[in-house]
Structure 1
Amino acid sequence: MGFDVEKVRAQYPALADGRAWLDGAAGTQVPEVVIEAISDAYRVGLSNVGGPYESSRRSSGIVAETRAAVADLVGAPDPACVTFGPSMTSLTYRFAGTLALGWNPGDEIVVTDLDHDANVRPWVQLAQRAGATVRTAEIDPATGELPVDNVVGLIGDRTKLVAVTAASNMLGVIPDLKPITDRAREVGALSYVDGVQHCPHAHVRIAELGADLYATSAYKWAGPHLAAVVAADPWVLENLHPDKLKPSPESSPERFELGTNPFAPMAGAVAAVEHLAGLDADAAGSRSERLATSRAAVVEHEERLASHLCEGLAGLSGVRRHGVPQGPTTPTAFFTVEGRAPAEVSAALSERGLNVSAGHFYAWGLVHALGIGPEGGVRASLSHYSTTGEVDRLLAALGEISA
């Protein structure tokens, strides 16, 4: 009935090794259907698009199917809103280079201390080259949250772009985006939202977020290494003209995609979206409707686990959780252990069969805003296939290590 985590786990071959995979924010494992979809695409044969033969038409069909699947996943109005690339970082540099063509000295962009550096550095570097001013919204170091006023107060008549995360990859903090994106739209600025850590843990509707451009990575939601930037409306892409090869397509979104798309991994991404849509056995209807049901079930499961994890961490002597937000979060906890380096803690947990990451996680502004520094901390990040038993294993191991 409904969401059954043991039935979900049975679909993931990697989870059979007995380890607790608590590093979902660094990338999830993939179910058998994704592995088979990628294998089948290679097995049957693929050719580049544009040819008059079946293998070429097959590749074209995969690209179209993947655009439609990602559009359903994030609530985009049209598959033509979806642009693909190898990673969120590479796509963000692509869009930064394109948008910066319209920036001039005196223009402003807004970034935040909460973001992964992939949604900071590209904009900063291109703004500096254009002579534009960079304004950085600060977090509340006590909670790790990003107060809305700290961002909205920086948005003015000269603002061209607001780059903000939908969920912190390090702390799990989910900012209140709508007032930020609404203010950006009021002044004629574009909003670029990093949804890499948000998309795996939410039922995403771009219109509800107010994002003009929303970035996501399939390997964070049970898919292959493939990223997408999704526009809220096709017109957002139609008005942007990236540098491209002379014979490359003039059409959008194709003109944003450099070279040949990875057709077999794209087939895996379609399978991943279908898998997510079926995580709740009671889900029915269209893919969008099944996604809504299944994503709601996943959020409920993950919130329950996250509450158990955070309560357990609070009861451990010598373990300090950094950034204790009052608002919503993804199922992620960032902490340090007194007297132990983060990498040492991660290694000790690994010896006990627990995959838990350590470091700064490219949240460069955030580790400094929290006063931690580049050594960072330890991050436990749960997924839809995580269990209460795995959380208990982590808490018990941390109790041994901190003692």
Structure 2
Amino acid sequence: MTTSTSTAYDVARVRAHFPQLAEGEGLGAAHFDGPGGSQTPDVVARAVYETLAGPLANDGDVTPAERNASRALGDGREAMADLLNVNPRGVVFGRSMTQLTMDLARTLAQGWGPGDEVVVSRLDHDANVRPWTIAAERAGATVRWADFDPETAELDPGQVEAVLSDRTRLVAVTAASNLLGTRPDLPAIAGLAHAAGARLYVDGVHYTAHVAVDVEALGADFFACSPYKFLGPHCGVLAARPEVLEPLRPDKLAPSSDGVPERFELGTPAYELLAGVAAAVDFLADLVPGEGSRRLRLVASLAAVEEHEDRLRARVEEHLVSLPGVTLHSRAARRTPTLLATFAGHDPQDVRRHLAARNVNAPAGSFYAYEASRRLGLGTAGGLRIGLAPYNDDRDVDRLLEALTESLDGA
């Protein structure tokens, strides 16, 4: 059994904060289901509990309950600003990335009409496709599709350029495919979109869990992500420069704040979840103990995570390609530690159930990446998705590979 780990990354120390990974009677589950939602460390759960257990009200500055709410909201914005390297005044919280994207699509579409164009990608999760196609169709705008190469799983910037025009108002593209792990060249795509006079909306849900994000460097005008994919609670985040948000007029209640970013947040924020978000970002910043600002520590920790996850991914990938009848669809040169596989003569759902019976969690399906799955010729059935997270270790990988081999041998 392989037991080596990076000297810079102490995975045992990280795992100690995840009670759901603890061994009871036998081994705890080996989780390769992080792309659908990561496990949650104890410090995040404690932050949510302590916020709810303390005095809490709508935010303000008169009572302790109001001040607790204001602190949770401010801490959450500051934490996400450090994680994404953005201005906290441009951090919008919502129920989910999908909800935030739907809301923004309706808002932006107020200025669209016949002759305008919107570009979406076949690589993307439906949450970065359907909101834009619905909004465009209602406004009478035209939808253009940027394709990816199913043989390489790459989305070449040239595919985006081919569907741009001086009528393009928005380009929507993923920073990393939740199905294949592909990481398109976002700065190149951003340059093309901006040269055409369009804004770029980036789905960073899968990307943010694995890479140190710099929204400005990526060239994104809007960047959306989901804290529950990177060890936090269930909510969504949309980030943009405040000056980009200022001219936008979303539907809102008359008495609610007209300030930015508050005008984009409908109703009372989930203060306890925002406290959990701040705790998750602090936890990420301390994955590799170090000194300096939280932003600097985040960059260092996430670089170590990327190295750790890529090493484990290489182990899984090497084994998968050695098995007969396995097709590995994740082939892009730059990608997250996420692999999609199908198996000749085996339904991916049967493989999934075999793994689950051995306490190894790796789901099967198309995971809302409908367009990508269809483009691969997999329909809506998709394949088995194996996704690594900061808490996975070599023993997890050993268990996965043993269970996969057993399943495909027909045991």
Q: How does the TM-score come out when normalised to structure 2?
A: 0.95
Equivalent position to 2:365, from 359, 372, 380: 359
Equivalent residue runs for 1:229-378 within 5 Å: 229-231=238-240, 233-281=241-289, 283-325=290-332, 327-378=333-384
Q: How far, CA to CA, are the matches of 1:5 and 1:139 in structure 2?
A: 35
Q: How far, CA to CA, are the matches of 2:150 and 2:88 in structure 1?
A: 39
Q: Which amino acid aligns with 1:153?
A: A
CA contact (8 A) 1:141 1:323 kept: no
Matched, 1:22 2:28: no
Matched, 1:165 2:170: no
Q: How far, CA to CA, are the matches of 1:316 and 1:284 in structure 2?
A: 44
2:80 aligned partner: 70
> What's the CA shift for 1:184?
1.3
CA contact (8 A) 1:152 1:179 kept: no
CA contact (8 A) 2:181 2:330 kept: no
Equivalent residue runs for 1:112-191 within 5 Å: 112-191=121-200
2:67 aligned partner: 57
How many percent identity over aligned positions? 48
CA contact (8 A) 2:330 2:338 kept: no
Q: How far, CA to CA, are the matches of 2:17 and 2:69 in structure 1?
A: 26
1:106 aligned partner: 115
Equivalent position to 1:227, from 233, 236, 251: 236
> What's the CA shift for 1:11?
0.8
Q: How far, CA to CA, are the matches of 2:371 and 2:209 in structure 1?
A: 23
Q: How far, CA to CA, are the matches of 1:2 and 1:324 in structure 2?
A: 28
Q: Which amino acid aligns with 1:185?
A: H
Q: Which amino acid aligns with 1:73?
A: L
> What's the CA shift for 1:323?
3.6
Q: How far, CA to CA, are the matches of 2:251 and 2:52 in structure 1?
A: 31
Matched, 1:205 2:214: yes
Residues 154-206 of structure 1 show CA distances to partners (whole Å, capped at 9, x for unaligned) of 11100000000000000000000111111111222110000000001001001
Q: Which runs of 5+ in 2 are unaligned?
A: 1-6
Aligned with 2:209: secondary structure? helix
Residues 265-313 of structure 1 show CA distances to partners (whole Å, capped at 9, x for unaligned) of 11011000000000002x2111011111111111110111111111111
Matched, 1:390 2:399: no
Q: Which 10-residue stretch deviates more, 210-219 or 338-347?
A: 338-347
Q: How far, CA to CA, are the matches of 1:61 and 1:189 in structure 2?
A: 36
Q: How far, CA to CA, are the matches of 1:341 and 1:315 in structure 2?
A: 19
Matched, 1:379 2:353: no
> What's the CA shift for 1:393?
1.5
Q: How far, CA to CA, are the matches of 2:161 and 2:78 in structure 1?
A: 33
Q: Which amino acid aligns with 2:148?
A: I
Q: How far, CA to CA, are the matches of 1:348 and 1:331 in structure 2?
A: 22
Q: How far, CA to CA, are the matches of 1:51 and 1:274 in structure 2?
A: 25
RMSD: 1.0
Q: How far, CA to CA, are the matches of 2:62 and 2:197 in structure 1?
A: 44
Equivalent position to 1:48, from 51, 58, 63: 58
CA contact (8 A) 2:206 2:229 kept: yes
Q: How does the TM-score come out when normalised to structure 1?
A: 0.97
Equivalenced residues, count: 399
Q: Which amino acid aligns with 1:307?
A: A
Aligned with 1:115: secondary structure? coil
> What's the CA shift for 1:51?
6.3
Q: How far, CA to CA, are the matches of 2:54 and 2:244 in structure 1?
A: 36
Q: Which amino acid aligns with 1:238?
A: E
CA contact (8 A) 2:60 2:69 kept: no
Equivalent position to 2:48, from 38, 44, 51: 38
Q: How far, CA to CA, are the matches of 2:404 and 2:301 in structure 1?
A: 32
